[in-house]
């Protein structure tokens, strides 16, 4: 009885640990989602009247018990409108219904109040190279109208390119670069990973032991070391030779020798190769031995048994390796900084010009957009919420790709479940 009680207690304890982990994960996702989307919600404009008789229109962006942090109009440059006002210096706070905010293409915001004629004059005054891209009266909006502004900002965020400061515009190039990189990495790593797993499953001896040792070693190498390897082997090695052989007329301007999508995908393929190999090999090991014996007894060769019977039956494990490879590659930003990822890419690696996919081009990545907005932004108050929004989008991309693979894996698992009976 004591053993049964101990087993029950251990089961409940493990269940509690799993529940805490799931709750923490959901809390983190909700926090990231809320922090990212909050930056797109239209903020109210307040009129702050001070005891010295002055007043200003501003958005309250922070504060503490002693003072408020205000963001007023930015007429010269982005980030110049912040002001800290002590609470005891404030005589009156109000939200005028005729207040308006004009969003400019370079990220600046101009605040004011007045009727439609005054608003039109303000738009004409600021329109020019930094043209007005949004005009809104946030205090006069109802719940549905505010949701409409939020939806437009969200669509703009995911469908436009950023400006040089990475504080205005959207993240479409980074979104395209991330998805293209992950899919190209998967195309490169899956054949090599599956072939290596089959070799380790079928062969014994010194060669198989050496390959297994190499795979185990690769699994423990830090990610940044893969970046150094990719820089030396792919960019400065193979890429430089490709330029000398095929693009000599363009030198000294590099084509493949300056980093690009292809070398980044190969670097991530090396990074995720151990994950795929281990997953596929374990899937092959779980198949019943009767499958192999029956195939060989019917006259099939070993190669035919592997490629026409065992691998199709192990497709759920192959897709599991694909899911794990996506999860590992999507969050690995450090090696990409050495092999082709940039803050602002001059052209997208995926466009409507033949051959549509341009592997030699540099690219943008959502992971680097998170880093740049959070730590390298000229305006931290804008940059940190933008970093949350980029992180939220990156998590959504990983979830969509993983769910697609998981659903397909579950369908295949149901199809081949009869083999285990």
pTM for this predicted structure: 0.85
Query: Could you give the CA distance from residue 293 to residue 268 in angstroms, rounded to a whole number?
Result: 37
Q: Report how far Cα 247 is from the mean position of its chain's Cα atoms.
A: 33
pLDDT of residue 267: 93
pLDDT of 421 > 50? The answer is no
Mean of the pLDDT values across residues 307-328?
Answer: 83
pLDDT of residue 265: 92
State the burial class of residue 132 (Cβ atoms within 10 Å of its Cβ: 0-12, 13-18, 19+). Answer: middle
pLDDT of residue 130: 62
**Could you report the per-residue pLDDT of 31-72, keeping only the tens digit for each?**
888 887 888 888 888 898 988 888 888 888 888 888 888 888
266 — pLDDT class (breaks 50, 70, 90): very high
Class of domain 172-420: mainly alpha
For residues 261 and 327, the model is more confident at 261
The answer to which of 186-195, 264-273, 340-349 has the lowest mean pLDDT is 340-349
Query: Could you give the CA distance from residue 418 to residue 416 in angstroms, rounded to a whole number?
Result: 5
4 — pLDDT class (breaks 50, 70, 90): low
Query: Could you give the CA distance from residue 21 to residue 15 in angstroms, rounded to a whole number?
Result: 10
Mean of the pLDDT values across residues 150-163?
Answer: 87
**Could you report the per-residue pLDDT of 196-213, keeping only the tens digit for each?**
988 888 888 888 889 888
Mean of the pLDDT values across residues 104-112?
Answer: 83
Residue of 64, 48, 58, 36 lying closest to 109 (CA atoms): 58
Query: Could you give the CA distance from residue 96 to residue 395 in angstroms, rounded to a whole number?
Result: 38
Contacts of range 78-84, beta carbons closer than 8 Å, 24 or more positions apart = 78/106, 78/107, 78/108, 78/165, 78/167, 78/168, 78/378, 78/379, 78/382, 79/378, 79/379, 79/382, 81/109, 82/381, 83/56, 83/58
Query: Could you give the CA distance from residue 181 to residue 105 in angstroms, rounded to a whole number?
Result: 29
pLDDT of residue 113: 86
DSSP 341: B
Give the phi and the psi of residue 80 in degrees, each rounded to 5: -90, -10
106 — pLDDT class (breaks 50, 70, 90): confident
The answer to which of 149-153, 191-195, 229-233, 396-400 has the lowest mean pLDDT is 396-400
Tokens of 335: 């090696």
For residues 129 and 232, the model is more confident at 232
In this structure, the chain runs to a length of 421
Tokens of 263: 């070398």
Measured CA to CA in angstroms, residue 120 lies from 101, 117, 164, 369 at distances of 12, 5, 28, 35
Mean of the pLDDT values across residues 149-172?
Answer: 84
DSSP readout, 345-386?
A: -SS-SB-SSTTSB-TTS-B--HHHHHHHHHHS-S-HHHHHHH
Mean of the pLDDT values across residues 97-103?
Answer: 87
417 — pLDDT class (breaks 50, 70, 90): low
Share of the chain above pLDDT 90, in %: 5
Other Cβ atoms within 10 Å of 92 Cβ, number = 11
414 — pLDDT class (breaks 50, 70, 90): low
Residue of 93, 94, 103, 99 lying closest to 140 (CA atoms): 99
pLDDT of 410 > 80? The answer is no
Tokens of 336: 């990409």
Tokens of 61: 């962006």
Q: Where are the domains of the chain?
A: 46-151, 172-420
Mean of the pLDDT values across residues 281-301?
Answer: 80
**Could you report the per-residue pLDDT of 271-289, keeping only the tens digit for each?**
999 989 988 888 888 888 7
Mean pLDDT rounded to a whole number for the chain: 84
pLDDT of residue 301: 79
Query: Could you give the CA distance from residue 109 to residue 13 in angstroms, rounded to a whole number?
Result: 53
């Amino acid at each position: 009885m004591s053993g049964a009680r101990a087993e029950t207690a251990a089961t409940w304890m493990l269940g509690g640990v799993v529940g805490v982990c799931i709750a923490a994960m959901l809390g983190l996702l909700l926090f990231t989602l809320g922090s990212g989307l909050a930056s797109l919600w239209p903020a109210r404009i307040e009129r702050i009247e001070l005891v010295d008789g002055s007043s200003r229109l501003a958005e309250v962006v922070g504060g503490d018990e002693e003072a408020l942090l205000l963001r007023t109009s930015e007429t010269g440059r982005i980030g110049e409108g912040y002001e800290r006002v002590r609470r005891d210096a404030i005589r009156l706070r109000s939200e005028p219904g005729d207040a308006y905010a004009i969003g400019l293409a370079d990220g600046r915001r101009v605040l004011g109040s007045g009727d439609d004629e005054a608003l039109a004059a303000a738009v004409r005054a600021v329109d020019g190279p930094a043209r007005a891209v949004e005009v809104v009266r946030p205090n006069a909006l109802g719940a549905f109208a505010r949701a409409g502004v939020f939806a437009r900002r969200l669509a703009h965020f995911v469908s436009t390119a950023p400006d040089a400061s990475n504080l205005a515009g959207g993240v479409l190039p980074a979104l395209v670069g991330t998805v293209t990189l992950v899919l190209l990495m998967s195309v490169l790593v899956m054949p090599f990973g599956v072939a290596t797993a089959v070799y380790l499953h079928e062969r014994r001896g010194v060669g198989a032991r050496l390959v297994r040792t190499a795979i185990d070693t690769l699994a423990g190498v830090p990610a940044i070391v893969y970046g150094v390897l990719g820089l030396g082997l792919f960019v400065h090695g193979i890429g430089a030779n490709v330029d000398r052989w095929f693009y000599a007329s363009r030198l000294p301007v590099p084509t493949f020798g300056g980093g690009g999508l292809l070398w980044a995908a190969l670097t991530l393929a090396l990074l995720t190769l151990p994950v795929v190999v281990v997953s596929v090999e374990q899937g092959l090991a779980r198949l019943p031995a009767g499958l192999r014996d029956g195939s060989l007894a019917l006259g099939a060769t070993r190669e035919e048994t592997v490629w026409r019977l065992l691998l199709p039956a192990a497709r759920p494990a192959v897709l599991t390796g694909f899911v794990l490879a996506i999860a590992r590659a999507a969050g690995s930003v450090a090696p990409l900084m050495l092999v082709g990822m940039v803050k602002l890419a001059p052209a997208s690696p995926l466009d409507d010009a033949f051959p549509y996919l341009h592997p030699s081009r540099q690219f943008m990545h959502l992971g680097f957009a998170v880093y740049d907005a959070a730590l390298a932004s000229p305006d931290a108050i804008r940059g940190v919420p933008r970093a949350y929004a980029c992180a939220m989008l990156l998590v959504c991309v990983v979830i969509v790709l993983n769910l697609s693979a998981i659903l397909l894996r579950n369908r295949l698992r149901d199809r081949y479940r009869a083999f285990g009976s």
